Amino acid sequence: MPIIVVLGLIAFFSLGSEAFLTLRNMTAISGQASVLLVACLGATLIVLMGSIDLSVGAMVLLVGSVTVLAINQFDLGLSAILVGVLIGTALGLANGLIYTYGVIPSFVVTLGTMSVYTGLAWELLQGRALRFDSLVFEDMAIGQAIPYFPNIALWALGAWIVMAFVCFKTRLGRYMFIIGGGEAVARTSGIPVKRYKVYAFALCGCTSGLAGALAVARLGAAGPTLGTDLLLNTLAAIVVGGTSLSGGIGGVHRTMIGVLIIALLDNGLNLMDVNQYTQMIIKGAVVIAAVLVGQDRGKTTVMK
């Protein structure tokens, strides 16, 4: 079904705008989708185990802000991406520890840390956009080692391949399916559920950190609005791609399709001059429809 939706969107927007099916626009779509895809990769594992992380956009904002400051202060160049990944991992680890050992619902924890991380980022930015001056770091995103295919898309594709391997070929990935399918059964079978939940949140922070570094490399600056659209878009892409909010079904391979659907929607609606308010209505409706179609109602005996 998601693949049919992708083909339908391509056909619809091709008829609606002559600029849609052009090499220049396809290059733009691949660049726009890359940050979203990377941000979704770790978050997919969180949803796969039946939890949720609302702080992904806030982590992207905070990591992006710190990365720009680090580049300007220490002239790190390409190695600044490592700074972003390490900071993001630490933020995700904090989420996981509070969630598992504080015995607080993931929704509440990440809602709180979303506010904390956003506030810290705004303190650093002081209401202004911070630019950096590093051609090497900028070329990491907007350069084109392959014509009409920005380097940021290569980073995103590489991250997706790595996470697909983690999801299906490692113990961590297999345990995410088991925990999402039934946490009580997972505990009974001897799986250290708490530890692997922490691992999952740390990995989500890692991919969010990479997304934050790539986002500022692509934009050339970090501003107060960086990552604000990721709260809706990450959940939308994950759910639309076919990962169930009830857990146990889906994976990062499906998230790729969901990201493509959201990127096509954003790009096509912009080319057709649809205002941003109407776009929000459309994307919200898409998320609700995807949940109605994709959720496993057999797991939900009581809806709260």
- Write the pLDDT tens digit of every residue in 113-133: 999 999 999 999 988 998 988
In a domain, 156, yes or no: yes
Q: Residue 91 and residue 39: Cα distance in Å, rounded?
A: 14
In a domain, 76, yes or no: yes
CATH number at residue 239: 1.10.3470
In a domain, 300, yes or no: no
pLDDT digits (tens, 9 = 90+) for 222-248: 999 998 888 888 988 998 888 888 888
Give the residue from 135, 208, 198 showing the smallest Cα distance to 172. Answer: 198
In a domain, 303, yes or no: no
- pLDDT score at 304: 36
Q: Would you give the DSSP letter of residue 131?
A: E
Q: Residue 27 and residue 34: Cα distance in Å, rounded?
A: 11
In a domain, 301, yes or no: no
In a domain, 246, yes or no: yes
In a domain, 10, yes or no: yes
pLDDT digits (tens, 9 = 90+) for 161-197: 999 999 989 999 999 999 998 888 888 888 899 999 9
| Residue 104 reports pLDDT greater than 50 | yes
Q: How many domains does the chain have?
A: 1
Q: Residue 42 and residue 61: Cα distance in Å, rounded?
A: 16
Parent domain of 150: 2-295
> What is the signed CA dihedral for 182, 186, 188, 194, rounded to 10 degrees?
-120
Across 116-178, where does the E strand assignment appear? 130-131
In a domain, 29, yes or no: yes
Q: Residue 18 and residue 272: Cα distance in Å, rounded?
A: 10
- The CA-based angle 96-225-86, given to 5 degrees, is 35
Give the residue from 117, 110, 73 showing the smallest Cα distance to 95. Answer: 110
